[in-house]
Amino acid sequence: MKIALIQMNSTDDKAANLAQAEALIEDVMAHERPDWISLPEVFSFMGGTRADKIAAAETFPEGAAYTLMRDLARKHGVHIHAGSMLERIAGEDRLGNTTVAFNRSGDEVARYRKIHMFDVTTPDGQDYRESATMKPGEDVVTYACEGVTIGCAICYDLRFPALFAALVARGAQMIALPSAFTLQTGKDHWDVLCRARAIETQTYFAAAAQTGQFRQGKETRATYGHSLLADPWGLVVAKASDGTGYVTARIDTARIARVRSQIPVAQQAVSLI
152 is catalytic: no
- 122 pLDDT higher than 90: no
Alpha-carbon gap, residue 46 to 9, rounded angstroms: 9
Q: How confident is the model at residue 202 (pLDDT cuts 50, 70, 90)?
A: very high
Choosing from 41, 53, 87, 152, the catalytic residue is 41
Least confident of 175-179, 183-187, 236-240: 183-187
Exactly one of 14, 53, 152, 155 is catalytic; which is it?
Answer: 155
Give the domain ranges of the chain: 2-268
What pLDDT is recorded for position 123? Answer: 83
User: What is the distance between the alpha carbons of residues 139 and 149, in angstroms, rounded to a whole number?
Assistant: 16
List, as one string, the DSSP characters of 214-268. EEETTEEEEEE---EEE-TTS-EEEE--SSSEEEEEE--HHHHHHHHHHS-HHHH
CA distance 77 to 194: 29
Q: Which CATH architecture group holds 2-268?
A: 4-Layer Sandwich (3.60)
Given the residues 58, 114, 135, 152, select the one marked as catalytic.
Answer: 114
Please report which confidence band the pLDDT of residue 125 belongs to, taking 50, 70 and 90 as the band edges.
Answer: confident
- For residue range 77-100, list pLDDT tens digits in order: 999 999 999 999 999 999 999 999
User: Is there a catalytic annotation at residue 135?
Assistant: no
| E strand map for the chain | 2-7, 36-38, 79-81, 85-88, 95-102, 108-113, 119-121, 127-129, 142-145, 148-152, 174-176, 204-207, 211-216, 219-224, 228-230, 236-239, 245-250
pLDDT in the model for residue 117: 95
What pLDDT does 260 receive? 97
Report which of residues 121 and 141 the model is more confident about: 141
Q: What is the DSSP letter of 47?
A: S
Residue 145 appears among annotated catalytic residues = no
**Inter-residue contact 62 to 70 (CB < 8 Å):** no
- How much of the chain, in percent, has pLDDT values that exceed 90? 92
